[in-house]
Amino acid sequence: MRYGKTKKIMVTGGAGFLGSHLCERLLAQGHEVLCVDNFFTGTRRNIVHMLDNSGFELLRHDITFPLYAEIDEIYNLACPASPVHYQFDPVQTTKTSVHGAINVLGLAKRTRAKVFQASTSEVYGDPEVHPQPEEYWGRVNPIGYRSCYDEGKRCAETLFFDYHRQHDVNIKVARIFNTYGPRMHPNDGRVVSNFVTQALKGDDITIYGDGLQTRSFCYVDDLIDGILALMETPREVTGPINLGNPDEHTMRGLAEQIIAMTGSASRIVSRPLPSDDPRQRQPDITKAKQLLGWTPTITLRDGLARTIDYFDRFLKDDAASTKL
Protein backbone atom coordinates (compact mmCIF):
# COMPACT_ATOMS: atom_id res chain seq x y z
CA MET A 1 0.00 0.00 0.00
CA ARG A 2 1.22 3.49 -0.83
CA TYR A 3 1.79 6.14 1.81
CA GLY A 4 -1.21 8.31 2.70
CA LYS A 5 -4.67 7.79 1.26
CA THR A 6 -3.78 7.95 -2.42
CA LYS A 7 -3.91 4.58 -4.15
CA LYS A 8 -2.82 3.40 -7.58
CA ILE A 9 -5.96 1.79 -8.98
CA MET A 10 -6.39 -0.17 -12.21
CA VAL A 11 -9.78 -0.18 -13.93
CA THR A 12 -10.05 -2.70 -16.75
CA GLY A 13 -12.74 -1.74 -19.23
CA GLY A 14 -12.18 1.80 -17.99
CA ALA A 15 -13.29 3.48 -21.23
CA GLY A 16 -16.65 1.76 -21.17
CA PHE A 17 -19.98 2.93 -19.78
CA LEU A 18 -19.50 1.81 -16.17
CA GLY A 19 -15.70 1.97 -16.23
CA SER A 20 -15.55 5.63 -17.24
CA HIS A 21 -17.91 6.66 -14.43
CA LEU A 22 -15.82 4.64 -11.98
CA CYS A 23 -12.55 6.22 -13.20
CA GLU A 24 -14.11 9.65 -12.80
CA ARG A 25 -15.21 8.94 -9.23
CA LEU A 26 -11.83 7.49 -8.21
CA LEU A 27 -10.01 10.53 -9.59
CA ALA A 28 -12.38 12.78 -7.64
CA GLN A 29 -11.34 10.88 -4.50
CA GLY A 30 -7.70 11.78 -5.21
CA HIS A 31 -6.45 8.39 -6.44
CA GLU A 32 -4.18 7.61 -9.39
CA VAL A 33 -6.10 5.69 -12.04
CA LEU A 34 -4.72 3.34 -14.69
CA CYS A 35 -7.48 2.87 -17.27
CA VAL A 36 -7.04 -0.35 -19.29
CA ASP A 37 -9.19 -0.88 -22.38
CA ASN A 38 -8.92 -2.46 -25.83
CA PHE A 39 -11.69 -0.18 -27.17
CA PHE A 40 -13.85 -3.02 -28.47
CA THR A 41 -16.91 -1.34 -26.93
CA GLY A 42 -15.29 1.44 -24.88
CA THR A 43 -14.66 4.82 -26.53
CA ARG A 44 -12.24 7.72 -26.10
CA ARG A 45 -15.27 10.00 -25.96
CA ASN A 46 -16.10 8.54 -22.53
CA ILE A 47 -12.71 9.41 -21.06
CA VAL A 48 -11.46 12.38 -23.11
CA HIS A 49 -12.25 14.82 -20.29
CA MET A 50 -9.89 12.86 -17.98
CA LEU A 51 -6.87 12.63 -20.30
CA ASP A 52 -5.36 15.90 -19.05
CA ASN A 53 -5.69 14.86 -15.40
CA SER A 54 -2.20 14.12 -14.02
CA GLY A 55 -3.62 11.24 -11.99
CA PHE A 56 -5.07 9.48 -15.05
CA GLU A 57 -3.17 7.08 -17.31
CA LEU A 58 -4.58 5.21 -20.32
CA LEU A 59 -3.28 1.83 -21.49
CA ARG A 60 -4.66 0.22 -24.65
CA HIS A 61 -4.54 -3.47 -23.79
CA ASP A 62 -6.61 -6.64 -24.17
CA ILE A 63 -6.82 -8.40 -20.80
CA THR A 64 -6.90 -11.83 -22.41
CA PHE A 65 -3.12 -11.24 -22.40
CA PRO A 66 -1.16 -10.79 -19.16
CA LEU A 67 -0.41 -7.27 -17.99
CA TYR A 68 2.09 -5.96 -15.50
CA ALA A 69 1.78 -2.95 -13.20
CA GLU A 70 2.34 -1.98 -9.61
CA ILE A 71 -1.09 -1.25 -8.19
CA ASP A 72 -3.05 -1.30 -4.93
CA GLU A 73 -6.52 -2.16 -6.23
CA ILE A 74 -8.05 -3.60 -9.39
CA TYR A 75 -11.59 -3.17 -10.66
CA ASN A 76 -12.21 -5.77 -13.38
CA LEU A 77 -14.99 -4.41 -15.59
CA ALA A 78 -13.62 -5.58 -18.95
CA CYS A 79 -16.19 -7.49 -21.02
CA PRO A 80 -18.81 -6.52 -23.59
CA ALA A 81 -22.07 -6.48 -21.65
CA SER A 82 -24.84 -6.21 -24.25
CA PRO A 83 -26.10 -9.12 -26.38
CA VAL A 84 -25.33 -7.25 -29.62
CA HIS A 85 -21.68 -6.89 -28.63
CA TYR A 86 -20.98 -10.11 -26.76
CA GLN A 87 -22.63 -12.26 -29.45
CA PHE A 88 -20.56 -10.60 -32.19
CA ASP A 89 -17.52 -12.67 -31.15
CA PRO A 90 -18.71 -15.18 -28.55
CA VAL A 91 -15.37 -16.99 -28.29
CA GLN A 92 -13.58 -13.73 -27.51
CA THR A 93 -16.31 -12.85 -25.00
CA THR A 94 -15.68 -16.08 -23.09
CA LYS A 95 -11.91 -15.50 -23.26
CA THR A 96 -12.34 -11.99 -21.86
CA SER A 97 -14.24 -13.31 -18.86
CA VAL A 98 -12.11 -16.40 -18.20
CA HIS A 99 -8.58 -15.52 -19.39
CA GLY A 100 -9.15 -11.96 -18.23
CA ALA A 101 -10.06 -13.13 -14.73
CA ILE A 102 -6.97 -15.35 -14.59
CA ASN A 103 -4.74 -12.44 -15.64
CA VAL A 104 -6.12 -9.86 -13.17
CA LEU A 105 -6.14 -12.44 -10.37
CA GLY A 106 -2.53 -13.34 -11.13
CA LEU A 107 -1.64 -9.65 -10.96
CA ALA A 108 -3.55 -9.26 -7.69
CA LYS A 109 -1.77 -12.28 -6.25
CA ARG A 110 1.65 -10.86 -7.13
CA THR A 111 0.99 -7.31 -5.93
CA ARG A 112 -1.32 -8.29 -3.04
CA ALA A 113 -3.90 -5.92 -4.47
CA LYS A 114 -7.58 -6.00 -3.58
CA VAL A 115 -9.51 -7.02 -6.70
CA PHE A 116 -13.14 -6.40 -7.67
CA GLN A 117 -15.04 -8.52 -10.18
CA ALA A 118 -17.98 -7.04 -12.07
CA SER A 119 -20.19 -10.10 -12.33
CA THR A 120 -23.76 -9.95 -13.57
CA SER A 121 -27.37 -10.83 -12.86
CA GLU A 122 -27.09 -13.02 -15.99
CA VAL A 123 -25.52 -15.70 -13.78
CA TYR A 124 -29.10 -16.36 -12.62
CA GLY A 125 -30.24 -17.04 -16.21
CA ASP A 126 -34.02 -17.28 -16.65
CA PRO A 127 -34.76 -17.56 -12.93
CA GLU A 128 -37.25 -19.82 -11.19
CA VAL A 129 -36.82 -17.78 -7.98
CA HIS A 130 -38.08 -14.20 -7.78
CA PRO A 131 -36.55 -11.86 -6.70
CA GLN A 132 -33.09 -13.40 -7.01
CA PRO A 133 -31.02 -13.76 -3.81
CA GLU A 134 -27.29 -14.48 -3.94
CA GLU A 135 -27.89 -18.02 -2.66
CA TYR A 136 -29.82 -18.93 -5.83
CA TRP A 137 -27.60 -20.92 -8.20
CA GLY A 138 -29.45 -19.91 -11.33
CA ARG A 139 -30.99 -21.52 -14.39
CA VAL A 140 -28.60 -20.96 -17.28
CA ASN A 141 -28.49 -22.60 -20.69
CA PRO A 142 -24.81 -23.59 -21.12
CA ILE A 143 -24.99 -23.94 -24.93
CA GLY A 144 -27.23 -21.05 -26.01
CA TYR A 145 -26.48 -17.81 -27.81
CA ARG A 146 -26.14 -15.92 -24.52
CA SER A 147 -23.95 -18.59 -22.89
CA CYS A 148 -20.64 -16.96 -23.86
CA TYR A 149 -21.49 -14.13 -21.50
CA ASP A 150 -23.54 -15.95 -18.85
CA GLU A 151 -21.20 -18.92 -18.43
CA GLY A 152 -18.09 -16.78 -18.87
CA LYS A 153 -19.14 -14.64 -15.91
CA ARG A 154 -20.06 -17.72 -13.86
CA CYS A 155 -16.61 -19.21 -14.52
CA ALA A 156 -14.98 -15.89 -13.59
CA GLU A 157 -16.75 -16.03 -10.21
CA THR A 158 -15.42 -19.58 -9.73
CA LEU A 159 -11.87 -18.40 -10.44
CA PHE A 160 -12.18 -15.47 -8.04
CA PHE A 161 -13.28 -17.68 -5.17
CA ASP A 162 -10.67 -20.34 -5.95
CA TYR A 163 -7.89 -17.73 -5.95
CA HIS A 164 -9.30 -16.43 -2.67
CA ARG A 165 -9.33 -19.88 -1.04
CA GLN A 166 -6.11 -21.20 -2.56
CA HIS A 167 -3.95 -18.05 -2.65
CA ASP A 168 -5.66 -15.76 -0.10
CA VAL A 169 -6.36 -13.09 -2.73
CA ASN A 170 -8.51 -10.27 -1.35
CA ILE A 171 -11.61 -10.39 -3.59
CA LYS A 172 -14.91 -8.53 -3.92
CA VAL A 173 -17.59 -9.84 -6.29
CA ALA A 174 -20.73 -7.90 -7.28
CA ARG A 175 -23.58 -9.21 -9.40
CA ILE A 176 -24.68 -6.15 -11.34
CA PHE A 177 -28.28 -5.86 -12.52
CA ASN A 178 -29.51 -3.66 -15.38
CA THR A 179 -27.79 -0.29 -15.15
CA TYR A 180 -28.37 2.77 -17.32
CA GLY A 181 -27.29 6.37 -17.68
CA PRO A 182 -25.07 8.74 -19.69
CA ARG A 183 -22.27 7.16 -21.77
CA MET A 184 -24.21 4.04 -22.64
CA HIS A 185 -23.33 3.00 -26.18
CA PRO A 186 -26.17 4.18 -28.46
CA ASN A 187 -26.07 0.94 -30.47
CA ASP A 188 -25.53 -1.57 -27.69
CA GLY A 189 -28.97 -3.16 -28.05
CA ARG A 190 -29.86 -2.65 -24.39
CA VAL A 191 -33.36 -1.61 -23.63
CA VAL A 192 -32.91 1.89 -22.18
CA SER A 193 -30.47 3.09 -24.85
CA ASN A 194 -32.60 1.46 -27.57
CA PHE A 195 -35.85 3.03 -26.41
CA VAL A 196 -34.38 6.49 -25.78
CA THR A 197 -32.57 6.75 -29.14
CA GLN A 198 -35.59 5.37 -31.02
CA ALA A 199 -37.89 7.85 -29.29
CA LEU A 200 -35.59 10.83 -29.91
CA LYS A 201 -35.33 9.92 -33.61
CA GLY A 202 -39.07 9.32 -33.90
CA ASP A 203 -38.46 5.71 -34.95
CA ASP A 204 -40.66 2.79 -33.96
CA ILE A 205 -39.84 1.52 -30.47
CA THR A 206 -39.18 -2.20 -30.59
CA ILE A 207 -40.34 -4.50 -27.81
CA TYR A 208 -39.98 -8.26 -27.85
CA GLY A 209 -42.83 -10.66 -27.23
CA ASP A 210 -45.79 -9.11 -25.41
CA GLY A 211 -43.57 -6.57 -23.63
CA LEU A 212 -44.70 -7.80 -20.23
CA GLN A 213 -41.30 -9.22 -19.28
CA THR A 214 -39.78 -7.21 -16.46
CA ARG A 215 -36.43 -5.66 -15.60
CA SER A 216 -35.13 -3.55 -12.72
CA PHE A 217 -33.16 -0.44 -13.68
CA CYS A 218 -30.41 1.11 -11.56
CA TYR A 219 -29.00 4.54 -12.40
CA VAL A 220 -25.24 4.51 -12.90
CA ASP A 221 -24.41 6.89 -10.02
CA ASP A 222 -26.19 4.61 -7.56
CA LEU A 223 -24.33 1.59 -8.90
CA ILE A 224 -20.91 3.25 -8.57
CA ASP A 225 -21.82 4.09 -4.95
CA GLY A 226 -22.51 0.39 -4.37
CA ILE A 227 -19.26 -0.77 -5.99
CA LEU A 228 -17.17 1.63 -3.93
CA ALA A 229 -19.02 0.66 -0.74
CA LEU A 230 -18.30 -3.04 -1.41
CA MET A 231 -14.59 -2.32 -1.89
CA GLU A 232 -14.47 -0.62 1.52
CA THR A 233 -15.91 -3.60 3.42
CA PRO A 234 -13.72 -5.78 5.70
CA ARG A 235 -11.64 -8.49 4.05
CA GLU A 236 -14.05 -11.27 5.09
CA VAL A 237 -16.84 -9.70 3.01
CA THR A 238 -16.16 -11.22 -0.40
CA GLY A 239 -19.61 -11.29 -1.96
CA PRO A 240 -21.14 -12.14 -4.28
CA ILE A 241 -23.47 -9.26 -3.54
CA ASN A 242 -26.35 -8.13 -5.75
CA LEU A 243 -26.20 -4.49 -6.84
CA GLY A 244 -29.28 -3.16 -8.59
CA ASN A 245 -32.55 -1.33 -8.13
CA PRO A 246 -35.36 -3.64 -6.97
CA ASP A 247 -38.13 -1.53 -8.56
CA GLU A 248 -39.52 -3.70 -11.35
CA HIS A 249 -40.91 -2.39 -14.66
CA THR A 250 -42.37 -4.04 -17.76
CA MET A 251 -40.76 -3.33 -21.11
CA ARG A 252 -44.02 -1.92 -22.48
CA GLY A 253 -44.41 0.36 -19.47
CA LEU A 254 -40.83 1.61 -19.88
CA ALA A 255 -41.41 2.34 -23.58
CA GLU A 256 -44.58 4.27 -22.80
CA GLN A 257 -42.80 6.32 -20.12
CA ILE A 258 -39.92 7.23 -22.45
CA ILE A 259 -42.34 8.24 -25.23
CA ALA A 260 -44.16 10.51 -22.78
CA MET A 261 -40.94 12.06 -21.41
CA THR A 262 -39.49 12.77 -24.88
CA GLY A 263 -42.76 13.93 -26.43
CA SER A 264 -42.06 11.47 -29.23
CA ALA A 265 -44.49 10.34 -31.91
CA SER A 266 -42.87 6.90 -31.96
CA ARG A 267 -45.08 3.82 -32.18
CA ILE A 268 -44.51 0.64 -30.16
CA VAL A 269 -44.02 -2.42 -32.36
CA SER A 270 -43.49 -6.06 -31.36
CA ARG A 271 -40.85 -8.53 -32.50
CA PRO A 272 -40.35 -12.22 -31.59
CA LEU A 273 -38.78 -12.88 -28.18
CA PRO A 274 -35.03 -13.69 -28.46
CA SER A 275 -33.67 -17.08 -27.38
CA ASP A 276 -33.13 -17.52 -23.60
CA ASP A 277 -34.41 -14.01 -22.84
CA PRO A 278 -35.40 -13.99 -19.13
CA ARG A 279 -39.04 -13.18 -18.33
CA GLN A 280 -38.21 -11.62 -14.97
CA ARG A 281 -35.20 -9.98 -13.39
CA GLN A 282 -35.24 -8.33 -9.97
CA PRO A 283 -32.46 -8.22 -7.36
CA ASP A 284 -32.86 -9.12 -3.73
CA ILE A 285 -30.60 -6.43 -2.20
CA THR A 286 -30.98 -7.45 1.44
CA LYS A 287 -27.24 -8.20 1.74
CA ALA A 288 -26.25 -4.90 0.13
CA LYS A 289 -28.41 -3.03 2.63
CA GLN A 290 -27.04 -4.98 5.60
CA LEU A 291 -23.35 -5.23 4.67
CA LEU A 292 -22.82 -2.06 2.64
CA GLY A 293 -25.47 0.25 4.00
CA TRP A 294 -26.40 0.75 0.34
CA THR A 295 -29.70 1.21 -1.42
CA PRO A 296 -30.46 3.06 -4.68
CA THR A 297 -31.80 6.59 -4.26
CA ILE A 298 -32.35 7.88 -7.82
CA THR A 299 -35.84 7.28 -9.21
CA LEU A 300 -36.38 5.90 -12.69
CA ARG A 301 -37.96 9.19 -13.81
CA ASP A 302 -34.99 11.26 -12.61
CA GLY A 303 -32.47 8.84 -14.08
CA LEU A 304 -34.29 8.71 -17.42
CA ALA A 305 -34.42 12.52 -17.58
CA ARG A 306 -30.59 12.67 -17.26
CA THR A 307 -30.16 9.84 -19.77
CA ILE A 308 -32.53 11.41 -22.30
CA ASP A 309 -30.65 14.70 -22.01
CA TYR A 310 -27.34 12.92 -22.65
CA PHE A 311 -28.58 11.07 -25.74
CA ASP A 312 -30.30 14.18 -27.08
CA ARG A 313 -26.96 16.04 -26.97
CA PHE A 314 -25.08 12.99 -28.28
CA LEU A 315 -27.34 12.59 -31.31
CA LYS A 316 -27.25 16.33 -32.12
CA ASP A 317 -23.43 16.38 -31.86
CA ASP A 318 -23.23 13.28 -34.04
CA ALA A 319 -25.53 14.81 -36.66
CA ALA A 320 -23.54 18.05 -36.66
CA SER A 321 -20.22 16.23 -37.13
CA THR A 322 -21.69 14.19 -40.00
CA LYS A 323 -22.55 17.38 -41.87
CA LEU A 324 -18.99 18.73 -41.66
Q: What is the pLDDT of residues 251-307, one digit of tens each?
A: 999 999 999 999 999 999 988 876 656 677 889 999 999 999 999 999 999 999 999
CB 53 within 8 A of CB 24: no
C-beta contacts of 129-136 below 8 A and 24+ residues apart: 130/280, 130/282, 131/246, 131/282, 131/283, 131/284, 132/242, 132/281, 132/282, 132/283, 132/284, 133/242, 133/284, 133/286, 133/287, 134/175, 134/239, 134/240, 134/241, 134/242, 134/284, 134/287
Task: Report the alpha-carbon distance of residue 99 to residue 296 in Å, rounded.
Answer: 32
Is 34 part of any domain? yes
Determine, yes or no, domain membership for 1: no
Give the confidence band of 106 by pLDDT, cuts at 50, 70, 90: very high
Among all residues, which ones are annotated catalytic? Answer: 149
For 181-214, how does the pLDDT look when each residue is reduced to its tens digit (9 = 90+)? 999 988 777 889 999 999 999 999 989 888 888 8
In the chain, DSSP assigns E strands to 8-12, 32-37, 56-60, 73-76, 114-120, 171-176, 179-180, 205-208, 214-216, 218-219, 241-243, 248-250, 268-271
Peptide bond into 131 cis (omega under 30): yes
Please tell me the predicted confidence (pLDDT) of residue 322: 54
Q: What global pTM score does this model have? A: 0.92
Task: Determine, yes or no, domain membership for 114.
Answer: yes
Domain count for the chain, please give it.
1
Does a structural domain hold residue 324? Answer: no
Contacts of 29 (CB under 8 A, 6+ apart): none
Residue 160 sits in a domain whose CATH number is 3.40.50.720
Q: Omega before 283 cis (within 30°)?
A: no
Q: Which domain holds residue 108?
A: 8-183+217-246+277-297
